[in-house]
Amino acid sequence: MPEKSVLITGSSGLIGRALCHRLGSMGYDVIGFDREGPPYPPPKTDCIYADQSSDESMQNAFHITEERHGNKLHAVIHLAAYYSFDKKESSLYDKITVEGTERILHELARFSVDQFIFSSTMLVHSPTAPGRKITEQSPMQATWGYPRSKIKTEKLIADKRGSIPAVILRIAGVYTDLCQSIPIAHQIQRIYEKKLTSHFYPGDLETRQSYVHLDDLIDCIVAVVEARESLSPESTFLIGEEDAMSYGELQMAIAQNLYGGAWSTYHIPPALAKLGALAQELLPGEKPFIKPWMVDRSNDNYDLDIAAARKQLKWSPRRSLRQTLPRIIEGLEVDPMRWYQINKLHVPHWLKRYPPHTHLGGIAQH
């Protein structure tokens, strides 16, 4: 039997695929749990179909795991969860994220597990005012369904982990050189297409949101796996960039990279912003990313202190959104269609007329 078997849930997702590839290249025997059908994890990953909303499916998946790999797991890295910007609340948060984690812990009771790593979110914390950093000890208060499900799951892990050491990673928004961050991609899209909505914001322009590059996050998770013997049985870390950009800074940086100039952004009353978002929802055609419930979150400030990760994991980000943004914009300008498709954005009719690798410089040439 391999000595270093690692089980990764959500193995075909953005983080899961990259993590499977990295750990596989390091000699780990990687087992990937995911729903049946594409997309799939990397070829060297032992892909086992698992629906964590089903008792039967999870029992079967762990039975196959035990048959193929034995009952010793070096680490279980739990990434799979429900997430959606479409609705503020959904029963799927409990069904998939919370109850799904309980099913996993129940099945792991018969395994020997060195470490259970759970991907939580920085959003479990109460937002702060600009200028104030969040630490792992900062108050916790979920403002919508997604972070609420993570808080419930963190508590569940503490109650149900038994003798399995657990590490909670409260992760900032993830992005790559191609963007692949839903909020950032939509913000870039609004400015690129010169939409009227790109000039208005219902919150404080100094509000900051921490992000973390996918490559840095993978480095971090690997560091957690490698440091398992030195960590306490219950460890929690905030994972993100400390140099968080404000909404206003991000607006200016996007415009500077696209057009070489400034971008005017004006405050709009929240009530008016909600009415505008609701009106857009009712119109035919492309549905807007901004939902009325998101307006209340426009002042949420998430600026992180990652001293704990730096000290205990010897990890800190080597990249930053500020430095990566020009590369993200370059990808958009070189091949707009591909960039839109990668970021799952609605492609406007005028963009479909341009061949790949056409430098558009935004829609200035349209």
Long-range contacts of 325-330 (CB under 8 A, 24+ apart): 325/250, 325/253, 325/254, 325/257, 326/257, 327/177, 328/175, 328/177, 328/178, 328/179, 328/184, 328/188, 329/188, 329/254, 329/257, 329/258, 330/257
pLDDT value, residue 13: 93
Q: Which residues of the chain have pLDDT under 70?
A: 1-3, 285, 353-366
Rounded-to-integer distance, Cα 304 and Cα 105, Å: 30
Q: Does domain 5-173+210-239 have CATH number 3.40.50.720?
A: yes
User: 116-170: per-residue pLDDT in tens?
Assistant: 999 999 999 999 999 899 999 999 998 899 999 999 999 999 999 999 999 999 9
Q: Which residues have CB under 8 Å from 41's CB, separation 6+?
A: 8, 11, 12, 16, 17, 20, 30, 32, 34, 47
Supply φ then ψ for residue 196, to 5 degrees: -60, -40
Rounded-to-integer distance, Cα 253 and Cα 285, Å: 30
pLDDT value, residue 366: 37
What DSSP string runs through 114-174?
A: S-EEEEEEGGGBPPB-TT--B-TTS-B---SHHHHHHHHHHHHHHHH-TTS-EEEEEE-EE
Supply φ then ψ for residue 282, to 5 degrees: -85, -15
User: 93-123: per-residue pLDDT in tens?
Assistant: 999 999 999 999 999 999 999 999 999 999 9
Rounded-to-integer distance, Cα 222 and Cα 240, Å: 15
CB 121 within 8 A of CB 136: no
Supply φ then ψ for residue 167, to 5 degrees: -125, 125
pLDDT value, residue 280: 81
pLDDT value, residue 341: 93
- Coil, strand or helix at 208: strand
CB 28 within 8 A of CB 74: yes
Rounded-to-integer distance, Cα 145 and Cα 130, Å: 24
Peptide bond into 233 cis (omega under 30): no
Rounded-to-integer distance, Cα 28 and Cα 30, Å: 6
CB 247 within 8 A of CB 173: no
Domain segments of the chain as ranges: 5-173+210-239, 182-207+245-301+320-353
Calculate the CA 57 to chain-centre distance. Answer: 25
Rounded-to-integer distance, Cα 45 and Cα 30, Å: 5
pLDDT value, residue 357: 52
